[in-house]
Amino acid sequence: MSVILIRHGKTAGNLEGRYIGARTDESLCEAGVQELKARSFPKAAQVFISPMKRCLETARLIYPDVEPVIVDDFRETDFGLFEEHNYAELNGRSDYQAWIDSGGETPFPGGESRRDMCERCIKAFNRLKLFDRQYDSALIVHGGTIMAIMSAFARPERSYFDYRVKNGEGFILNGDGSWHCI
């Protein structure tokens, strides 16, 4: 079976290019709601979401007849001290430059590392055994969550950042690792 991975709709913080992670529980903005309503999405028998409002609201818009199941470990990265800030506000800070210079490998100051976030999301995905089910499932999650899962399971293997998606977009991932964009 297939797993549909969809990034939540836009929030005000997304529009401003802010780091909106595990600490900021933003709702969708009106532009995000309208963009989701204008698109069509593949059907899913079961929907799993991050615990954040933006994911719940997206799931209710896309799959109104399916009660979403919250998976805490699908939450976005904890961006620590960078949470709710954007590049313009962080540019010139030594801690931000050190994080940039590491290629995003070091933990966010006061937050978590990409590696830890990826391990958390992949373990949660494996626990669900979605490819063993007899129906398609959807995940309404965050960009980082999608990049973690796709970089672990999609074939041919690609880097984490190759699976970056815009709000309201995503992938269909098959059990054999093949995939396509939605």
- Structural domains in the chain, CATH included, are 2-181 (3.40.50.1240)
Read off the pLDDT of residues 154-181 as tens digits, 9 standing for 90 and up: 999 999 999 999 999 999 999 999 999 9
pTM for the model: 0.96
d(CA 164, CA 120) in angstroms, rounded, equals 18
CA atoms within 13 A on the CB side of 171: 23
Read off the pLDDT of residues 82-91 as tens digits, 9 standing for 90 and up: 999 999 999 9
- Residues above pLDDT 90, as percent of the chain: 99
d(CA 59, CA 142) in angstroms, rounded, equals 12
CB within 8 A of 159, min separation 6: which ones? 151
Name the phi and psi angles at 34, rounded to 5: -65, -40
User: In the predicted model, what is the mean pLDDT of residues 138-147?
Assistant: 98
Residue 92: is its pLDDT beyond 90? Answer: yes
DSSP code, position 5 = E
Q: What is the pLDDT of residue 9?
A: 98
Q: What confidence category does residue 1 fall into, taking pLDDT thresholds of 50, 70 and 90?
A: confident
Report the chain's C-alpha Rg in angstroms: 16
User: In the predicted model, what is the mean pLDDT of residues 111-118?
Assistant: 97
Residue pair 91/82 in contact (Cβ under 8 Å)? The answer is: no
Residue 60: is its pLDDT beyond 90? Answer: yes
